[in-house]
Every structure is written in structure tokens, then in C-alpha cells.
């Protein structure tokens, strides 16, 4: 699944930059973010060094920002910031005892992510929370409902294809299944900024 996340993200970004009128590239790319969101939650649940995990994400977010802007000609935070803020929110919520305070934290963070035009915005945080609090068919149902709302707000009907990743996660990510067959750490951590830099270089050259 980690390989699938990288491959579909690459397909998505190549299509977005070089084949923007062909929806097939973007459809394949919808599979990527849910896997990254689930991997983030699993990292949160399993890491023994939360500070180190946060610092790694911060480093990737910083390194990726300029290639991200050059590749897509945009001026907003890249998706790693979305993952980092989601991780910080999970960690902060774990220290709260009152469900009202936890809910308030989630709502406030979602609003900040939307207002800052963070990639995926509140959708990204809510998907991470779905993986945090639901399992099996409830996970699939919650993601479906999230996609319906996201489509209504952003007119992004292609996002419905992302549900396939959650179905795969619900079916195969239990226990120590093959879902955890990881790519090499150096590749998993460097793939996002490196592939963005290559796409940006090709785009500028063309």
C-alpha cells in the first residue's frame, strides 16, 4: 500500500501538470492521500518518539514547499503541512480529558486549515480522524459521507474515487497484514520533495 500511495501520487501530479484535461490521471491520484492519512495515523499510534516524528514531517514540509509552488504554480501550504497539523492535533487531543474540549480543538483546527488554504484543508484532518475513531464498514461509511460533503462544498466529484483506498484499508490493514510492507524509509521520506522537484524542473524547462 505504501508503494501504491507513491505511485498514484506521482500519476496524479504528472497528470495535473502535464495532462490537465485528462481526468484519468486525477482519478488514479485520488487513491494516494487516504493512504498517506492512514499511514500518518498509524505512525501516531505506533511511534515511540512523537517529537522526532513531528520534526521529520516539519523537515519534509519545509523542503517540499518551494518545489511544490514551482511545480503547481500555487502559493499555499503543501499537503505535508496538512499531515503535520493533523498529527499535532491528534497529540494535543490525547492530552485532553473533556470531549467538549477535544471537539472544540478539532473544529478550530479544521477552520484554520481551511482559512490558510492548506492542501485538502479540513478534509485532510477529518479523514485522519475517521481513521483514528472508526473501523471496518463504519470507516468506509464515514469516508463516503465526508466525500459527499466535500463534493457539495468544492464541486470535486472525482474525490469519490478516494473511497477505494479506505475500502482496501478496511479489508487488508488489520493486524500485521501485507499493508505494512513498507518502502525503504529513505524513499518514503524523500519521494514527495524529490518528485516535486523533478516535475518543477521539467515544467520550467518546457
How confident is the prediction along the chain (206 residues), in pLDDT tens digits per residue? 889 999 999 999 999 999 999 999 999 999 999 999 999 999 999 999 999 999 999 999 999 999 999 999 999 999 999 999 999 999 999 999 899 999 999 999 999 999 999 999 999 999 999 999 999 999 999 999 999 999 999 999 999 999 999 999 998 875 544 555 567 888 999 999 999 999 999 999 98
Supply the DSSP symbol for 184: P
CA dist 30 to 95, 120, 137, 162, 181, Å?
33, 12, 20, 5, 21
**What are the extents of the domains in the chain?**
2-18+25-205
Distance of CA 143 to the CA centre of its chain: 13
Amino acid at each position: 500500500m505504501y508503494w501504491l500511495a507513491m505511485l498514484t501520487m506521482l500519476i496524479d501530479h504528472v497528470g495535473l501538470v502535464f495532462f490537465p484535461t485528462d481526468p484519468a490521471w486525477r482519478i488514479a491520484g485520488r487513491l494516494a492521500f487516504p493512504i498517506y492519512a492512514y499511514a500518518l495515523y498509524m505512525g501516531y499510534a505506533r511511534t515511540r518518539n512523537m517529537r522526532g516524528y513531528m520534526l521529520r514531517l516539519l523537515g519534509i514540509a519545509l523542503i517540499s514547499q518551494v518545489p511544490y509552488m514551482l511545480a503547481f504554480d500555487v502559493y499555499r501550504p503543501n499537503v505535508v503541512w496538512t499531515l503535520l497539523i493533523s498529527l499535532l492535533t491528534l497529540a494535543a487531543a490525547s492530552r485532553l480529558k473533556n470531549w467538549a474540549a477535544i471537539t472544540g480543538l478539532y473544529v478550530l483546527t479544521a477552520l484554520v486549515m481551511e482559512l490558510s488554504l492548506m492542501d485538502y484543508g479540513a478534509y485532510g484532518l477529518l479523514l485522519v480522524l475517521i481513521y483514528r475513531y472508526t473501523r471496518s464498514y463504519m470507516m468506509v461509511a464515514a469516508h463516503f459521507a465526508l466525500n459527499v460533503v466535500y463534493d457539495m462544498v468544492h464541486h470535486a466529484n472525482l474525490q469519490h474515487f478516494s473511497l477505494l483506498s479506505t475500502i482496501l484499508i478496511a479489508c487488508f490493514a488489520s493486524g500485521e497484514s501485507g499493508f505494512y510492507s513498507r518502502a525503504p524509509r529513505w524513499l518514503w521520506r524523500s519521494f514527495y520533495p524529490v518528485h516535486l522537484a523533478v516535475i518543477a524542473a521539467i515544467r520550467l524547462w518546457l
